[in-house]
């Protein structure tokens, strides 16, 4: 007869062997704890960086808004003198002022306004006699050119254009000369 051992006993021995081999040693447990601690530190660092970036983004938006408001305030501050002149001019008794004085007054206020705006990078575009530039001008019509050299030149400016710091606010509306060869 063969020596038969209890099958349950073999299974228990096998499980014990597996458990013994898979139990973490002290060095493995320490390494696992170190890795877990490192993961937690990285998570914390990531959360802090995300919060810092979010704060930076909010601060940058707020600073841009404030810079825009300051720029608008500077522009308006430069226009206050011209606004005061218009206000005084609007309250003059018409019976005591002749038309030449009115026209001269309006021209002075216009000059003051453009001078103030020029200090903020504002330019008037009146290209009459210059070459047509589609970046600054809007052609509304064409007119015949007397000579081939006049081809592409602005004949008449219907409405002045405006540029501020190199950015077109409104293109000048113009009639462009066109040479037909006749």
**Which CATH number fits the domain that encloses residue 132?**
2.30.22.10
pTM for the full predicted model:
0.60
Give the model's pLDDT for residue 1: 46
pLDDT at 7: 53
Provide the residue range defining the domain that includes 139: 123-182
pLDDT score of 12? 62
Query: Which one is predicted more confidently, 29 or 111?
Result: 111
Domain-terminating residue out of 120, 150, 168? 120
* Same-domain pairing of 80 and 128: no
**Mean pLDDT score across all residues of the chain:** 85
Place 5 in a pLDDT band, splitting at 50, 70 and 90.
low
Flag whether 53 is in a domain.
yes
Asked if pLDDT for residue 2 goes beyond 50, the answer is no
> Strands 172-178 and 137-144: what pairing?
parallel
Q: Region 128-137: what's the mean pLDDT?
A: 92
Residue 136: φ, ψ to 5°: -120, -15
Please check whether residues 79 and 116 belong to one and the same domain: yes
Indicate whether 85 and 156 sit together in one domain. no
- φ/ψ of 141, rounded to 5, equals -165, 175
How many domains does the chain contain in total? 2
123 vs 37, 82, 110, 139, 168, CA distance in Å? 63, 17, 14, 19, 9
Q: Is the Cβ–Cβ distance between 133 and 145 less than 8 Å?
A: no
Say how far residue 138 (Cα) sits from the centre of its chain.
25
Check pLDDT > 90 for residue 17: no
């Amino acid at each position: 007869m063969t020596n038969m051992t209890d099958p349950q006993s073999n299974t228990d021995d096998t499980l014990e062997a597996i458990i013994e081999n898979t139990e973490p040693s002290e060095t493995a447990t320490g390494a696992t704890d170190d890795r877990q601690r490192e993961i937690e530190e990285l998570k914390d660092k990531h959360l802090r960086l995300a919060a810092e970036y979010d704060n930076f983004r909010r601060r940058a938006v707020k600073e841009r808004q404030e810079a825009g408001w300051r720029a608008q305030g500077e522009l308006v501050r430069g226009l206050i003198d011209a606004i005061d002149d218009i206000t005084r001019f609007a309250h003059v008794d018409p019976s005591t002022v002749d038309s030449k004085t009115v026209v001269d007054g309006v021209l002075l206020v216009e000059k003051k306004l453009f001078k103030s705006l020029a200090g903020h990078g504002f330019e008037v575009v009146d290209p009459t006699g210059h070459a047509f530039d589609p970046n600054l001008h809007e052609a509304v019509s064409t007119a015949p050119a007397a000579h081939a050299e006049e081809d592409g030149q602005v004949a008449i400016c219907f409405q002045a254009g405006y540029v501020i710091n190199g950015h077109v606010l409104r293109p000048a509306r113009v009639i462009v000369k066109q040479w037909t060869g006749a």
